[in-house]
């Protein structure tokens, strides 16, 4: 083989390997974004954040209470991300149960 053919084959091999890596990374991202348990937990967290902002804006809760609730929501979100990191980008039913329990607690605090 000539030197040019060797370089071309090596370049094609690198391109194919790079394409395979990119495909697997995009598939993982798509799985992360669409996993039903993660979607449910994150949707509830987004709703709680929205409610905290709305109730603070309307004067129904103090700034201190809003900050406290935002910290709790942030901690739940961080725990969800950590759980997903250990379970191949999804959360288990047990993880979801624990996170839902914590979200229920924040919801009850917001309703007081």
43-54 pLDDT, tens digit each: 999 999 999 999
The alpha carbon of 74 is separated from its chain's Cα centroid by a whole number of angstroms, namely: 12
Confidence of residue 29 (pLDDT cuts 50, 70, 90): low
How far is the C-alpha of 103 from the C-alpha of 33, rounded, in Å? Answer: 20
Tokens of 11: 């370049």
> Which residue ranges make up each domain of the chain?
1-34, 36-111
Q: 3-state DSSP call for residue 33?
A: helix
Q: 3-state DSSP call for residue 112?
A: coil
pLDDT by residue (tens digit) across 72-86?
A: 999 999 999 999 998
């Amino acid at each position: 083989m000539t030197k040019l053919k060797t370089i071309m084959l090596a370049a094609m091999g690198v391109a194919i390997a790079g394409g395979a890596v990119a495909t697997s990374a995009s598939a993982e991202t798509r799985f992360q974004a669409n996993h039903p348990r993660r979607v449910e937990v994150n949707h509830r967290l987004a709703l709680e954040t929205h409610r905290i902002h709305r109730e603070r804006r309307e004067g129904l809760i103090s700034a201190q209470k809003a900050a406290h609730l935002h910290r709790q929501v942030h901690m739940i979100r961080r725990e969800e991300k950590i759980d997903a990191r250990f379970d191949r980008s999804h959360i288990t039913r047990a993880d979801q149960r624990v996170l839902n329990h914590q979200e229920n607690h924040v919801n009850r605090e917001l309703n007081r």
